[in-house]
């Protein structure tokens, strides 16, 4: 951890190994199913729906049109992120959505899969025909009554025919709609019908994380340069409505011997840092004291969440609040 060059070399080799094992695209039935359905063979359609193999790129750059081209030295390697590949160790596809068309296409793709239905167009056309025939019978009887009572009611029925047809067709489609596999499984498993079933989030700010690592990693400080080492790394103070809060990263450093074997991710998932109050019962088993190196350790305690409950750590925020300025000298920030 004190040799930046060796760390970068090991990281690069590990990312390449994961990419070779997980990111190599091979065309199968999923890729060519749409090209086989094409009836007009005169049209030159790409056989692979993902348009593999892809063009090689010598470097990562933006084109004059504003598109991003990622460096690629293999024609069948998907776009991937090295940090995600090393950490997750499974296949993923990373794309930069810089155009409105790409963003809308990705939103449509994700929402289409989440609400995918097996209802072909001919079934909806059959429903529309049934609604049309039912409306024709109703209008015929009402027209006969309209001749007897006057032309006002007949004119109203004719003007509202389109509105009634659309309303009845929508009712037929919604009431007889087939449920997708995602909806059925979600209902059987008891998941709520909203975007996420996660109720507890543990936000970890990237800027706070960087400086916490920088203050404690001599190798990173050495890579930043001698001039940077003369400066004092900024401290992080978290203030809430109840007063000064103990940052989670600082609490993890002083977590004590009982939680010494926990990594930071597990600590953020299972531990809640709380202020000691007059109603706090420190005799409970789910409370853990901090280590001796924490200032005012008697004011804070670590509470183990109850069984089945956990936080989901989320990295949030930019490295710099002013995105137009960069801090020179800080290694790979």
Output the pLDDT for position 193. Answer: 62
Output the pLDDT for position 233. Answer: 61
> Along the 333 residues of the chain, how does pLDDT read in single tens digits?
778 888 889 999 999 999 988 888 888 877 877 666 655 555 566 778 888 888 898 888 888 887 788 888 888 888 888 888 998 888 888 877 877 888 888 888 887 776 665 566 777 788 788 888 887 766 555 544 444 455 556 656 656 677 778 878 877 776 666 666 767 777 788 876 666 667 788 888 887 888 888 888 888 777 777 766 666 666 666 665 666 778 888 888 888 888 888 899 999 998 888 887 766 666 655 778 888 888 777 888 888 887 778 888 888 776 655 544 555 555 444
pTM of the model: 0.44
Output the pLDDT for position 177. Answer: 62
- The residue ranges of every structural domain in the chain are 4-114, 121-177, 201-316
Three state DSSP letters for the chain: CCCHHHHHHHHHHHHHHHHHHHCECCCCHHHHHHHHHCCCCCCCCCCCCCCCCCCCECCCEECCCCCEECCECCCCECCCCHHHHHHHCCCCCCCCCCCHHHHHHHHHHHHHHHCCCCCCHHHHHHHHHHHHHHHHHHHHHHHHHHHHHCHHHHHHHHHCHHHHHHHHHHHHHHHCCCCCHHHHHHHHCCCCCCCCCCCCEEEEEHHHHHHHHHHHCHHHHHHHCHHHHCCCCCCCCEEECCEEECCHHHHHHCCCHHHCCCCHHHHHHHEEEEECCCCCCCCCCCEECCCCCCCCHHHEEEEECCCCCCCEEEEECCCCCCCCCCCCCCCCC
Output the pLDDT for position 10. Answer: 92
């Amino acid at each position: 951890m004190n040799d930046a060059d060796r760390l970068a070399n090991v990281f690069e080799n590990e990312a390449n190994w994961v990419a070779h094992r997980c990111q190599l695209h091979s065309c199968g039935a999923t890729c060519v199913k749409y090209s086989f359905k094409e009836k007009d063979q005169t049209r030159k359609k790409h056989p692979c729906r993902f348009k593999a193999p892809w063009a090689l790129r010598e470097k990562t750059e933006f084109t004059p049109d504003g598109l991003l081209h990622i460096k690629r030295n293999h024609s069948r390697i998907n776009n991937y992120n090295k940090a995600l590949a090393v950490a997750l160790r499974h296949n993923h596809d990373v794309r930069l959505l810089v155009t409105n068309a790409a963003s809308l296409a990705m939103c449509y793709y994700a929402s289409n899969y989440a609400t995918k239905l097996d209802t072909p167009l001919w079934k909806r056309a059959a429903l529309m025909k049934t609604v049309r025939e039912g409306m024709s019978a109703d209008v015929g009887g009402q027209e006969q009554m309209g001749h007897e009572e006057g032309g006002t009611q007949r004119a109203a029925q004719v003007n509202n025919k389109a509105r009634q047809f659309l309303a009845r067709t929508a009712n037929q489609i919604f009431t007889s709609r087939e449920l997708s596999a995602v909806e059925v499984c979600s209902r059987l498993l008891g998941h709520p019908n909203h975007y996420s079933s996660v109720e507890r989030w543990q936000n970890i700010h990237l800027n706070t994380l960087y400086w916490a690592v920088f203050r404690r990693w001599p190798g990173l400080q050495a890579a930043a340069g001698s001039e940077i080492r003369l400066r004092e790394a900024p401290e992080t103070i978290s203030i809430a409505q109840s007063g000064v809060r103990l940052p989670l990263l600082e609490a993890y450093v002083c977590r004590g011997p009982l939680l010494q074997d926990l990594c930071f991710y597990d600590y953020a998932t299972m531990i809640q840092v709380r202020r000691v109050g007059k109603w706090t019962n420190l005799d409970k088993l789910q409370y853990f004291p901090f280590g001796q190196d924490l200032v005012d350790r008697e004011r804070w305690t670590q509470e183990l969440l109850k069984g089945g409950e956990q936080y989901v750590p989320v990295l949030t925020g930019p490295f710099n609040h002013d995105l137009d300025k960069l801090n020179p000298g800080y290694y790979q920030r």
